[in-house]
Structure 1
Amino acid sequence: MADQEQEDRTEQPSEKRIREAREKGDVPRSRDLSGALVTLGAMSALVSTGPSAMEHMRTIYRLGLSYSRDALFSGNLAGHAFYSAAHEAIAIVAPVAAATVLAAVAAPTLLGGLNFSAEALQPKFERLDPISGLGKIFAMRGLVELGKSLLKLVLIGAALVILMRNWQPEMMQTGRGVVGVGIAQSISLLGRAGLVFGVILALLGGVDALWQRFDYGRRQRMTKQELRDEHKEQEGSPELKGRIRQVQQQMSRRRMMQELPKADVVITNPTHFAVALQYDDGRMRAPKVIAKGVDVLALQIRHVAAGHRIPTVEAPPLARALYATTDIGREVPAALYVAVAQVLAYVYQVKQALAHGVSPPEPPRPDVDPELMGPYRDN
């Protein structure tokens, strides 16, 4: 069943899938690569600091055997010897420890990056299930791990046999000569052997890193249904999206109707289109559209305009052009400045005529480029 399920996972993982996996602590990791880098770092530091380590060891040796008469009768002898020896020991261990820590941090960074997940620290009792454990052993990953372990055993064992045969004379000399020389030879042999083992582990670690990246990508692959479900979850169902658009449109219309009483003029088609303009020459560079609509909404705009005594001017070409070119809250385009100015001038003349009791002028017939009407040219 598990193999069949994995065969169905043919799609590359999405960013959301990868992100969720990292949050759970599931990132590509190679224990072989980490072990190789730690071994190489520690042994390289041991070999490079061998001479200085010998000097620190001689100092520790001298501290335990040579004291002056005053120091022997001093109450601070034990404390002084301890702190001096500890200081020398730290000087020996510090380079190796620092190289080990750096290698331990660098190994996961090279493969999967640094990642901390609190969820990965939570205990999972299903891991204690022996049946599930046996299934993992005989699964593909378990067989690969078994093969890698056997390969490491064979390669490291073979390297150990070869080194012991080639270095046998040097190993025998470490216990026959001067103590200091023997210790130095032992450290050198240990460091060189560690470097050889580290190189072998590095080769295995490089291969394992490639396998871990491949296996991680394979495990994170998704089925077509999972991709569809995730897309639906992110984008939302069509019904929900339609409902959201409906609510947004209702809110937009409500705000538009609240702004409509501020209009200076409403330009109509006269029945299909209605566009409300506002203009304040002290604050605006050009008139702006504060409401517009077609059919039922246009009728509502005309009713509100009539209720607030906002002048209404019939100019079908201009109404269609304004509706096609200008969004709510935007200034009218420069190509319509002259036509809009004629309408605003007419509204001002009508107000002046009514105030002085004279006949109002004839409504203007603005000339509008048909291209500005867009798809509404024939409405």
Structure 2
Amino acid sequence: MQMMEYYFGLISVVAQSSENVLFLVKPILPIMLRIIAPVLGVVVIAAFAGNVMQVGLRFSTKPIQPDFSKINPNPVRFITKMLFSRQSVMNLGKSVFKIATISVVAFFLVKKDLFWIMKTMDMGVLQAFQLCLLLAFKLIMVVSGLLLILAIPDYFFQRREHTESLKMTRQELKEERKLLEGDPLLRARMRERQKSYAKRRMIQEVPKADVVITNPVHFAVALKYEPLRMGAPECVAKGQDLIAQRIKKIAEENDVSVVENKPLARELYKRVDIGDEVPEDLFTAVAEIIAFVYKLKQKEAVNV
């Protein structure tokens, strides 16, 4: 306090010139820095602690590494993105709200103490300085408390924005699905190729069948029975419409018996997959047909 009174007293008696101003300012600068340093230290520590509380203690050199991909060749798009993006608008709105709120609170505080501020003209330097210091301290405390209150919802908002920014967009999800599952067009081609291969393999098994049971137009099921290896007749090929006609044609070309039985052909096509054995409830009907085919082949062999 004595120092401030001394320097304010010097101002009134020292002639005003650039040399005298430097003479007055030079000695006081180190003292003012020592006074301000603790306050600045508290502010820096508080800012650092607040950042650690929000996102944790993270150190990365990535932000300072040169990245030429960040150079935007389109300045209009860059300015639009920086000024009119959702985040920029939200940050601007928050800043305007904070400034307006602090300004209103500071105005009413100063207005409330305006009488004492005006009285400083009638006080001594020490008393005026003490009063201004007290009023400034009160203003700083009120504004700090207000900023702390405003920081609470802002903290949750920033945390939510950070969480949302980590989520992938629909386009990113599509790209990741493509990477994990492959290109849909490629997968469709692979399925078609697999179907085509399975169909060719199935057709190749028709000449090995013992009998083909048909609808006769819509369905055809080729069955094979080896008593020593199979417990029941097995489906080696089946098809509908054009494939059914192709199975019939290949069977006739390879002397495989073709038997028409509409209900049995429909049931076999519906219930038996390729490589599966005939169900028990259809076994009798199928066994009768196979027995009939065997007898027919035996007669043909005798006649030959």
TM-score, length-scaled by structure 1? 0.41
Greater C-alpha Rg? 2
- Larger relative contact order, structure 1 or 2 (CA cutoff 8 Å, min sep 6): 1
